[in-house]
């Protein structure tokens, strides 16, 4: 039997509000007070939605008073990454080119959250157009890690991770194209989930790389992450890549344990480039799973070593196509010029930051005549190799284990070289290329007492065993006192 959820988890808050033991308005006010006190230092949000959130919380309380069930997330404060379209609320992707743009519709995940009774408190900061690993690339300034405000929260969903870590909201949503949920979750010491590609609708997510992007949850606990994933997942006719089947009942299996579960420790992701403290925590998590009854062995997935190279051809190629729509004609920023072409050049020059421009140019080059086969075509072949190597590993194992990030959180401004920054995603990118599921679970601390995340990987639609392993790792994680001793 699982212990009762802590009083500030999404599960506990929703249960208390549905039972009439707590008011959704009071819960909202508590979280808004925390935001007011610490947000100036953290900068997790691009916009705090206090005025719009209050009527939603009041409506939840009225439904409870009328004997109705407002939904699984009744009255739970929630933060949204600012690349998810939200009707009537500015949605900027942390870019000057979309500054002040207000979508006329909600993303499918936002509709599902509102239907479940969740209360959206704001839109969170991110690396511009989700391109980055530190949330330093935002046009509106960096987000700081609540664990140590001299350090980055990770990226690109750093604002969403920081909002949960700082207690601004018990749950939030991010997007993960190459690790943008899992890596900041690891650096901020929270749970982050990249679901199977197609399990969660991408309708209303402003695209970076359409074959890689996936929306997923941040939470303080594995159980909260499971609940949030169950709310947002499921088929959506508006998304052609949405998987047409029922959502697995993940929460029903969190207490099943890991006896008999086959766990593979990915040897290629445990060596060079991984900080010794991080590797040590991952091995301790593997030992904890073995002690809980799982079978744990090392496994080789050779092609994952090519993941970074393949990703930085495929993702920029898709980005160069997706971001062509920001041209000063239809919406967003417009900087006038003497001709249409000059207007477009002026708009994109002023509107996009350096990292976005870098990736657009790289992607356009990789797709250009004479280079397509040598770069983009070859990268897609490597992607197939990665899928095959994962498939071979999953014939022997139910889930795989690795670090989430090769290091703990680094200091703001510490990394200036783009290639060095890209190495932060070396452990997370292969899962996106394969379209599989993966999640990060906090497990102790490493250098400077900063959080370490252990990554649990699973095959497509393998969320149930992935969450079972995650729950066992969470249960065995050292307490803050143990970690610091």
Range from 247-256, 267-276, 473-482 carrying the lowest mean pLDDT: 473-482
Whole-number pLDDT of residue 3: 47
CATH at 393: 3.90.1300.10
Q: Examine residue 381 and state whether it is found in any structural domain, yes or no.
A: no
Q: Domain tally for the chain?
A: 1
Does 6 score more than 80 pLDDT?
A: no
Q: Examine residue 256 and state whether it is found in any structural domain, yes or no.
A: yes
Q: Examine residue 357 and state whether it is found in any structural domain, yes or no.
A: no
User: What percent of the chain shows pLDDT beyond 90?
Assistant: 95
Q: Examine residue 406 and state whether it is found in any structural domain, yes or no.
A: yes
Range from 11-15, 290-294, 331-335 carrying the lowest mean pLDDT: 331-335
Whole-number pLDDT of residue 307: 97
Does 2 score more than 70 pLDDT?
A: no
End-to-end CA distance of the chain: 29
* Gap between the Cα atoms of 122 and 81, Å rounded: 9
The SS3 assignment for 441 reads strand
Whole-number pLDDT of residue 122: 98
Q: Examine residue 441 and state whether it is found in any structural domain, yes or no.
A: yes
Give the confidence band of 1 by pLDDT, cuts at 50, 70, 90: very low
Q: Examine residue 375 and state whether it is found in any structural domain, yes or no.
A: no
* Gap between the Cα atoms of 339 and 32, Å rounded: 47
Give the confidence band of 481 by pLDDT, cuts at 50, 70, 90: low
* Gap between the Cα atoms of 203 and 231, Å rounded: 15
pLDDT tens per residue, range 308-352: 999 999 999 999 999 999 999 988 999 999 999 999 999 999 999
Q: Examine residue 154 and state whether it is found in any structural domain, yes or no.
A: yes
* Gap between the Cα atoms of 224 and 231, Å rounded: 11
Write out the catalytic residue numbers.
81, 156, 180
Domain range spanning residue 186? 10-302+387-484
pLDDT tens per residue, range 187-204: 999 999 999 999 999 999
Does 293 score more than 90 pLDDT?
A: yes
pLDDT tens per residue, range 203-225: 999 999 999 999 999 999 999 99
Mean pLDDT for 451-461 is 98
Give the confidence band of 247 by pLDDT, cuts at 50, 70, 90: confident
Block residue for tokens 């942390």: 94
The candidate with the shortest Cα–Cα distance to 175, out of 124, 221, 237, is 124
Whole-number pLDDT of residue 331: 87
User: What percent of the chain shows pLDDT beyond 70?
Assistant: 97
* Gap between the Cα atoms of 125 and 135, Å rounded: 7
CA distances from 324 to 175, 310, 329 (A): 20, 22, 11
pLDDT tens per residue, range 150-183: 999 999 999 999 999 999 999 999 999 999 999 9
Q: What is the rounded average pLDDT for all residues in the chain?
A: 96
The SS3 assignment for 154 reads coil
Is residue 322 within 8 Å of 175, Cβ to Cβ? Answer: no
Task: Specify the length of the chain in residues.
Answer: 485
Specify the DSSP class assigned to residue 374: I
Whole-number pLDDT of residue 246: 87
Q: Examine residue 276 and state whether it is found in any structural domain, yes or no.
A: yes
């Amino acid at each position: 039997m699982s212990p009762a959820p802590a009083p500030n988890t999404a599960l506990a808050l929703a249960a208390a509000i549905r039972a009439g033991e707590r008011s959704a308005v009071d819960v909202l006010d508590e979280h808004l007070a925390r935001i007011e006190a610490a947000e100036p230092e953290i900068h997790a949000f691009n916009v705090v939605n206090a005025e719009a959130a209050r009527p939603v919380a009041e409506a939840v309380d009225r439904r409870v008073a009328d004997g109705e069930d407002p939904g699984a997330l009744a009255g739970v404060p929630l933060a949204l990454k600012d690349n998810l379209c939200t009707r009537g609320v500015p949605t900027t992707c942390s870019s000057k080119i979309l500054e002040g743009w207000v979508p006329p519709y909600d993303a499918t995940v936002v509709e599902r959250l509102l239907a479940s009774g969740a209360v959206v408190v704001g839109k969170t900061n991110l690396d511009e157009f989700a391109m980055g690993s530190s949330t330093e690339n935002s046009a509106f300034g960096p987000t700081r890690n609540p664990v140590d405000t001299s350090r980055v929260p990770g990226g690109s969903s750093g604002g969403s991770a920081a909002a949960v870590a700082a207690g601004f909201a018990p749950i939030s949503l991010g997007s993960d194209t190459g690790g943008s949920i899992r890596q900041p979750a690891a650096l901020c010491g929270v749970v982050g989930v990249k679901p199977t590609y197609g399990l969660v609708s991408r309708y209303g997510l402003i695209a970076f790389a359409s074959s890689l992007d996936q929306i997923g949850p941040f939470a303080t606990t594995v159980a909260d992450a499971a609940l949030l994933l169950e709310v947002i997942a499921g088929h959506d006719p508006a998304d052609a890549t949405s998987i047409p089947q029922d959502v697995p009942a993940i929460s029903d299996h969190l207490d099943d344990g890991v006896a008999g579960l086959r766990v593979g420790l990915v040897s290629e992701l445990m060596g060079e480039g991984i900080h010794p403290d991080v590797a040590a925590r991952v091995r301790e998590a593997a030992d904890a799973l073995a002690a809980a009854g799982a079978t744990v062995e090392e496994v080789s997935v050779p092609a994952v070593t090519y993941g970074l190279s393949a990703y930085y051809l495929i993702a920029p190629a898709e980005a160069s196509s997706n971001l062509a729509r920001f041209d000063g004609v239809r919406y967003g920023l417009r900087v006038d010029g003497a001709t249409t072409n000059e207007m477009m050049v002026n708009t994109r020059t002023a509107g996009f930051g350096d990292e976005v421009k870098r990736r657009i140019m790289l992607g356009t080059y990789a797709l250009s005549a004479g280079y397509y086969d040598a770069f983009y075509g070859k990268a897609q072949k490597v992607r197939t190799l990665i899928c095959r190597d994962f498939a071979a590993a999953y014939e022997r194992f139910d889930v795989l284990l690795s670090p989430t990030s090769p290091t703990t959180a680094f200091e703001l401004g510490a990394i200036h070289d783009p290639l060095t920054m890209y190495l932060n995603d070396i452990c997370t990118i292969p899962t996106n290329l394969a379209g599989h599921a993966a999640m990060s679970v906090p497990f102790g601390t490493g250098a400077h007492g900063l959080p370490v995340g252990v990554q649990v990987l699973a095959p497509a639609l393998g969320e149930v065993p992935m969450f079972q392993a995650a729950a066992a790792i969470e249960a065995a994680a050292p307490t803050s006192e143990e970690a610091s001793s």
